[in-house]
Structure 1
Amino acid sequence: MKIKKIYLPVIITTALAVGVLIGGYLNFSAPTANFSSNASKNKLNKLLDFINNEYVDEVNTDSIVDLTVNGILEKLDPHSVYIAKNEFESVAQSMKGDFVGIGVNFYTYKDSVAVIKPIAGGPSERAGIRAGDRILFAGNTKLFGKKISNDTLFSKLKGERGSKVELTIFRKTENKKFKVNVTRDLVPIKSVDVALMLNDKIGYIKINRFAETTFKEFHQGLSKLKAAGVQELIVDVRNNGGGYMERAVEIADEFLKDKEQIVKIKNRKGVEDISNATSKGSFENGKLYILIDENSASASEILAGAIQDNDRGLIVGRRSFGKGLVQREMPLGDGSAVRLTVARYYTPSGRSIQKPYNKGLEAYYGDFEKRFENGELYAFDSIKVADSLKFKTKKGKTVYGGGGIIPDIFVPMEGKHGDEALNMIMQSGIVSYFVFEELDHERSQFQKLTIPQVESKVKNTDFYYDGFRKHLSKSGLIFNLDKNKDKVKQYLAAEFVRQLFDEQHYYQLVLKEDPMIKAVFEAAKK
């Protein structure tokens, strides 16, 4: 699904490491479908054949079919979607959890392919490629000095597992050009960004989507935290648009006791499928906090709903998206597919958290903007709930259906009303782009510094802050950053640390000033 956002003119292409999650606000399961012939189907086939054979001009009937399918699905619900064959590979790849490639994050910087960072332990890092390197040639194919599409780049850098590609590299820090052979291999696409201890007893796990490998990644992270002595756990599903429902169920099972309900699914025939927890949970007793926001949807809401309705933990943040429909994927035989809504899901208390969609797509997606306008993102009292949709948790606490999960602890959006765009920008690719440019000028000096020294270098001067402000201006984005100066510096310092060191240290910095983390720490004292 799509949510209206502010799109920035400069976006990092984090290719060959992070997949593109198209239509991400989905719960879906294995593809199956049955069909029977009918008059309407024959009518469509006859029309297409007539156009194909008799129309006065040449027509691409594939494009007509795409329009027809999209038109049909738009009449159903916002989450029944068509995936064109040119999009299907990237969608499937992002949910698979890995792919075969050379293992670098890169984007096209000026006239060349610049390596932001090789994937740790991946083929490029093993071959000696470093952050800041330019990839000039892949074999005999020139990759600089002209506009090359991402599809072309991917086709040259991806390939069969075990196959080799000779890359010509320019290393700016040493002013030298050299060739290196990289053996393509499996490269993970992480769905769990990080698992770390925030202090001696509170752990933190960030899940960005629910893909095939999410439970495995989550379990590994939780095991690491348990070995470190975790007593209380924060699971962060902010900006997580969902994915495989089964992965959310598996993760919920880690926290709930035997036979506690996780989710119930009901199809049009009234057939129910109930998922209950087993006795295998590995964190059934420690304090638990789930972080959500307005972009937490579907599988994220299944997890949050299961924890809230069983009174297992506290939901912290802002009202979630409100997506309570389940899709099934059906391949169409030509490389494209349809994800069709086939059921609704209900949380353990019996509530559907699907927000209404009977007024059309514009009104459905406009609900997101209304949350800004009515002040809901800044004041708990502005959340509109229907008394007719009251439900009770296991211990008798009142919860509501009909439009997302309402948190137990409300945390307003950072800044003041009107700062929403800045919040998006500070977590966007434009920050990464700016930091890469700065590192490109003085990478050798930065590489000599420790993490505290990098943080101090960025935060204790206005040099990088002023540079970022100019960078935004050049990109056509005019903001008064001064009232959020400390916040901007914090994000800039964290991004320098991420590109120089790793994701874990990035999160350690940004979470220091995170309002939801602060809210959890306050709740933990009680």
Structure 2
Amino acid sequence: MGGYQKKYLPIFFCIAVVIGIAIGSKLNYGAASSTILGGNSKKEKLNRLIDYIDYEYVDPINTDSIVDVTVNGILENLDPHSVYIPPSELQEITESMKGDFVGIGVSFYDYKDTITVTRALPGGPSEKVGIRGGDRIIAADGKSLTGRTVLGDTVVSQLKGKAGTVVNLTVRRPGNDNLLNFKVKRDVVPLKSVDASYMLTDTLGYIKINRFAESTPDEFHTALQNLKRKGARELVLDLRGNPGGYISAAEKVADEFLEEDKLILFTKNKTGKIENTFATDDGDFENGQVYVLINENSASASEIVAGALQDNDRGVIVGRRSFGKGLVQREMDLGDGSAVRLTIARYYTPTGRSIQRPYDEGNQAYYEDYLKRYKNGEMQSVDSISTADSLRYVTPKGKVVYGGGGIIPDVFIPKDTNYEKEAIIYALRSGAMSRFVFELLEKRRVYYNSLSYESFEQEVEISDADINAFVGYLNARNLKIRIKDYKNDLKRYLKAVMAQQLFGNTIFEKLINEEDPAIAKIKELSRS
């Protein structure tokens, strides 16, 4: 999907996690870095080699690319989570983790060489002036934004800008013969890390967090208060597919559930220095039952929350073994728009567990260890999870827990690895399903935009013809799937994505969760 709202692709979250999502803090050495490294013979050797290549190599060569390769090569020999971030990626990553950006606040597709809005982001400038899904932005300040030559970076430069500046948009809206003009004042647009918040039952609330950004603790606190006002005495915290983020954000979320002075985690650096983090007296859900949902793509900061609650005998961990990332990164600005995230410590859960998976055999073995889970049966049976007595720990109430590679849940939920179900999930996470649904909405945009959610729920049905069209859509893009036993699942997913584009993420998660075995198990536990 184009625009300013990027979705994570959980089917590839293994890759997302190993490029080091968890950040302990940030450094900005700037010019000071040259002083720190000054006089170092190893540094001088690299400088001389690059200069030699620059001046004497037989063919023209971009020495910047050599530097990038050199930096990556150095970091790859450290651990899987120490990474180099080039200038082309740093701004987007920074915005995502900060939790906001400055712009007009729309998600869009390039549809028939025209910027077509899929959704105006909630609380953003475009939503406030009345821009909605299906609108074609054909010009900004009189400059055309149609045609292949002006798409991509040109669009971003025209629509983004400084907060408080105004851009005049010319819009063509389906069902309206006249062009519409909107004066949009660019502003800070939130990138929500809380995907959904709603009541599963009269007393059981649900909150899903997609990453731990700077804004996450405030978003979570607001959602929690709203659910408590609706009668929530128990809570489901869904961290499935959450690759992590800022440790400080995870600590604040965990603090909501733990009594004052309970240990949340501790970190240890190369010198053996230990830093403990304890809960404060600010927790707003210290007594209600909590269920934490995790899976194989829950990593880093997600594991901090799950480990803190599990080791303090607080709540029930439900799902599958988490990813297993127990390293802390610190970000250093390299002065040219790029940065390095360097592992500077390990973190440990309150019982003393390190949940970091081994990486001493190199990055390839690290990746393959993740894939072994599918092959050894771990995704279907908790008994297939390998544990070591040397990594056995006991919580204050006597529950046995293990370190060495992720958080093992208290209640195991097997993964449906049927080919059809996997294909549906892949189509969803790859963005193909979203694009298909967008084009389906476009066929009757005026009708769909007129619906309330209640009308949508009652009137809209995904037909067998829609299923066949979707399969054909994927086949035409070399994504070969067959749907036989999971047709109803696919219908539910397609309708959920349609609701997402029309009404937002909470409705999407609500529809997806209707047949979720993990949610069903939690409801069963809640009633017992």
TM-score, length-normalised on structure 1? Answer: 0.93
Q: 2:25 aligns with which of 29, 35, 56?
A: 29
Query: How far has the Cα of 1:180 moved from its partner?
Result: 2.5
Question: 1:447 Cα deviation (Å)?
Answer: 3.6
1:167 maps to amino acid: L
Contact map agreement 2:355 2:407 (CA 8 A) in 1: yes
Q: Which amino acid is 2:4 matched to?
A: L
* Cα distance in 2 for residues equivalent to 1:384 and 1:150: 47
Look up the match of 2:498. Answer: 496
Task: Describe the SS at the equivalent of 2:196.
Answer: strand
Return closer, same or farther for 1:32/1:272 CA change in 2, 3 Å cut-off. farther
Asked if 1:350 corresponds to 2:346, the answer is no
Q: CA deviation at 1:300?
A: 0.3
Per-residue CA distance 1:102-157 (angstroms, 9 max, x = gap): 11011112321110011123211222222101111223443222155533321111
Counterpart in the other structure of 1:146 = 148
CA contact (8 A) 1:170 1:177 kept: yes
Q: Deviations over 1:389-443 (max 9, x none)?
A: 1111121111111110011111111353674333232344222111111111112
| Partner Cα distance (2:336, 2:492) in 1 | 48
The offset of 1:458, in angstroms, is 4.5
d(CA) in 2 for partners of 1:386, 1:322: 15
Instruction: Establish whether residue 254 from structure 1 lines up as the match of residue 256 from structure 2.
Output: yes
Per-residue displacement from partner, 1:364-398 (whole Å, max 9, x unpaired)? 11222221222211222222222221111121111
Which residue in the other structure is 1:232 paired with? 234
CA contact (8 A) 2:20 2:81 kept: no
C-alpha deviation, 1:255, in angstroms: 0.4
1:14-34 Cα deviation digits (max 9, x unpaired): x22448897463233121667
CA contact (8 A) 1:18 1:189 kept: no
1:507 Cα deviation after fit: 2.1
Q: Give identity over the alignment, percent.
A: 51
Contact kept, 8 Å, 1:19 with 1:189, in 2: the verdict is: no
| Contact preservation (8 Å) 1:24, 1:241 | no
Q: Which residue of 2 is the match for residue 198 of structure 1?
A: 200
Q: Aligned ranges for residues 470-485 of structure 1 at < 5 Å? A: 470-485=472-487
What is the alpha-carbon distance in structure 1 between the residues aligned to residue 497 and residue 175 of structure 2?
A: 20
Does the alignment pair 1:16 with 2:7?
no
Please, which moves more after superposition, 119-128 or 319-328? Answer: 119-128
- Alignment-mate amino acid for residue 376 of structure 1: E
State the partner residue of 2:13. none
Partner residue of 2:245?
243
Distance 1:213 1:142, change over 3 A: same
- Cα distance in 1, alignment partners of residues 437 and 152 from structure 2: 22
Q: Assess, with a 3 A threshold, how the Cα gap between structure 1 residues 209 and 284 changes in structure 2: closer, same or farther.
A: same
Superposed counterparts of 1:89-488, under 5 Å: 89-146=91-148, 148=150, 150-414=152-416, 416=418, 419-459=421-461, 461-488=463-490
What residue in structure 2 maps to residue 5 of structure 1? Answer: none
Following the alignment from structure 1 to structure 2, what is the Cα–Cα distance between the partners of residues 242 and 125?
A: 29
C-alpha distance in 2 between matches for 1:374 and 1:353: 20
Matched letter for residue 28 of structure 1: G
Tell me if the contact between 1:20 and 1:91 (Cα under 8 Å) persists in the aligned partners. no
SS in structure 2 of the partner of residue 78 of structure 1? coil
Paired with 1:80 and 1:54, the residues of 2 have a C-alpha distance of 32
Secondary structure (helix, strand or coil) at the match of 1:483 reads: coil
Amino acid corresponding to residue 23 of structure 2 in structure 1: N
The one-letter amino acid paired with 1:217 is E
CA 1:176–1:20 in structure 2 vs 1: closer, same or farther (change >3 Å)? farther
Q: Distance in 2 between matches of 1:358 and 1:173?
A: 61
> One-letter code of the match for 2:424?
L
Q: Deviation at 1:270?
A: 0.1
Are the aligned partners of 2:420 and 2:486 in contact in 1 as well (CA < 8 Å)? no
CA distance in 2, matches of 1:423, 1:238: 14
Distance in 2, matches of 1:522 and 1:86, equals: 48
SS class of match (1:359): coil
Q: For structure 1, list consecutive stretches of 5 or more residues without a partner in the other structure.
A: 1-11
| Equivalent residue in structure 1 for 2:43, among 35, 41, 44 | 41
Q: d(CA) in 2 for partners of 1:20 and 1:292?
A: 16
Tell me if the contact between 2:420 and 2:483 (Cα under 8 Å) persists in the aligned partners.
Answer: no
Distance in 2 between residues matched to 1:490 and 1:358, nearest whole Å: 43
* Distance 1:192-1:460 versus aligned 2 partners, 3 A rule: closer
Question: How many pairs were matched up?
Answer: 514
Residues in 2 aligned to 1:467 and 1:417: alpha-carbon distance in whole angstroms: 19
Q: What is the alpha-carbon distance in structure 1 between the residues aligned to residue 424 and residue 8 of structure 2?
A: 23
Q: Which SS does the other structure have where 1:82 is aligned?
A: strand
Q: After TM superposition, give the deviation of residue 457 of structure 1 in Å.
A: 4.5
TM-score between both structures, scaled by the size of structure 2? 0.93
Q: Distance in 2 between matches of 1:449 and 1:32?
A: 50
396-405 or 139-148, which moves further after superposition? 139-148
> How far is 1:204 from its partner?
0.6
Q: Name which of structure 1's ranges 263-272 and 457-466 shifts more when overlaid on structure 2.
A: 457-466
What stretches of structure 1 move > 4 A for 4+ residues in a row?
Answer: 18-22
Equivalent residues of 2:424, 2:490 under 8 A apart: no
Partner SS state of residue 243, structure 1: coil
Secondary structure of 1:520's counterpart equals helix
Pair 1:441–1:153, CA change in 2 (3 A): same
Q: CA deviation at 1:460?
A: 6.5
Q: Which moved more, 1:128-137 or 1:204-213?
A: 128-137
Q: Which moved more, 1:254-263 or 1:444-453?
A: 444-453
Is 1:95–1:212's contact at 8 Å kept on the other side of the alignment? yes
Q: Give the residue type in structure 1 aligned to 2:392.
A: K
More divergent stretch after superposition (15-24 vs 475-484): 15-24
**How much has 1:91 moved relative to structure 2?**
1.0
Contact 1:20 / 1:90 at 8 angstroms: preserved in 2? no
